[in-house]
């Protein structure tokens, strides 16, 4: 499997990637990424911890920041599958009848749009000027995090503008459309029918669900094992996941909890 965008090095677009083997330390790093100051920083921290390489080179935090936003969203969904959390049950409310319902989604089966020719750049010509821009990256997202919407959009545009100048809203809108056409993207929603009235609903699916899920489960497992066996956190995280879960099942069986 390859990135829908990739990294351009020495004039070559490189799209390969590889995750590190899953162990407790990786799980803890992903869970701990949620404490980053903003979501883009959390994505960078999680992917830098989880990836072994990108485009044939080590996956440093700087390399992860330089990825296109669509590539980062794609990788977070692939990370969900790598951690065994690809298929999820989500809840939505039908706007037609007001009924809440659950639906299943496999994140890695959602559509992906590959980057267009010329990636990571896009060009657009208006009656007044010619603009050349690059596709936004994780570094851009981190830079504008926390800014008011209008200021964030203007700052993002200025950061991505390589040459030319845009003086009015129409030119900026044309530039944004060109960037969108060039950039890799992942689907951000699914269509699902309400079981009550049958209405088809488009429901948003956050590409960063694995980072927003409850991290307490892992640390609860660590707490239980440390309390029972008096192992250190490092020793527990060093266990293969299957063995850690086996010890937890044995503890539950000892307490009379049937699974």
Distance (Å, whole) CA 27 – CA 49? 9
Backbone angles phi, psi at 37, to 5 degrees: -65, -20
pLDDT at residue 258, as a whole number? 61
pLDDT at residue 241, as a whole number? 83
Distance (Å, whole) CA 50 – CA 31? 11
pLDDT values of the chain reduced to their tens digit, one per residue, 259 residues: 899 999 998 889 999 999 999 988 888 888 888 778 899 999 999 999 999 999 999 999 999 999 999 999 999 999 999 998 899 999 999 999 999 999 999 999 999 999 999 999 999 998 888 999 999 999 999 999 999 999 999 899 999 999 988 768 888 889 999 999 999 999 999 999 999 999 999 999 999 988 876 567 888 889 999 999 999 998 998 888 889 989 999 999 988 876 5
Distance (Å, whole) CA 182 – CA 134? 9
pLDDT at residue 101, as a whole number? 96
pLDDT at residue 215, as a whole number? 65
Helix (H) or strand (E) holding 75: helix 69-82
pLDDT at residue 36, as a whole number? 81
Q: What is the pLDDT of residues 32-46, one digit of tens each?
A: 887 788 999 999 999
Hey, what are 226's tokens?
């440390």
pLDDT at residue 23, as a whole number? 87
The three-state secondary structure class of 112 is: strand
Own/partner contacts of 120-123, CB < 8 Å, gap of 24 or more, are: 120/5, 120/8, 120/68, 120/182, 121/162, 121/182, 122/175, 122/178, 122/179, 122/181, 122/182, 122/183, 123/178
């Amino acid at each position: 499997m390859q990135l829908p965008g990739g990294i351009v090095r020495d004039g070559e677009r490189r799209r390969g990637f590889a995750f590190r083997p899953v162990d407790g330390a990786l799980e803890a790093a992903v869970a701990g990424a949620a404490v980053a100051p903003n979501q883009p920083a959390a994505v960078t921290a999680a992917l830098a911890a989880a990836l072994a390489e990108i485009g044939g080179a080590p996956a440093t935090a700087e390399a992860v920041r330089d990825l296109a936003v669509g590539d980062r969203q794609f990788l977070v969904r692939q990370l969900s599958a790598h951690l065994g959390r690809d298929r999820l049950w989500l809840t939505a409310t039908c706007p037609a009848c007001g009924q809440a319902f659950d639906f299943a989604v496999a994140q890695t089966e959602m559509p992906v749009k590959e980057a267009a020719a010329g990636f990571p750049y896009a060009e657009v010509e208006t009656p007044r000027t010619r603009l050349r821009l690059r596709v936004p990256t994780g570094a851009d997202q981190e830079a504008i995090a926390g800014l008011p919407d209008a200021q964030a959009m203007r700052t993002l545009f200025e950061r991505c503008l390589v040459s030319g100048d845009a003086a009015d809203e129409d030119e900026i809108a044309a530039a944004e459309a060109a960037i969108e056409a060039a950039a890799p993207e992942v689907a951000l929603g699914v269509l699902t029918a309400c079981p009550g009235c049958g209405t088809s609903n488009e429901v948003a699916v956050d590409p960063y669900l694995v980072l927003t899920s409850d991290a307490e489960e892992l640390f609860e497992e660590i707490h239980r094992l440390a309390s029972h066996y008096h192992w250190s956190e490092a020793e527990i995280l060093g266990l293969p996941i299957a063995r850690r879960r086996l010890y937890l099942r044995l503890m539950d069986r000892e307490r009379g909890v049937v699974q």
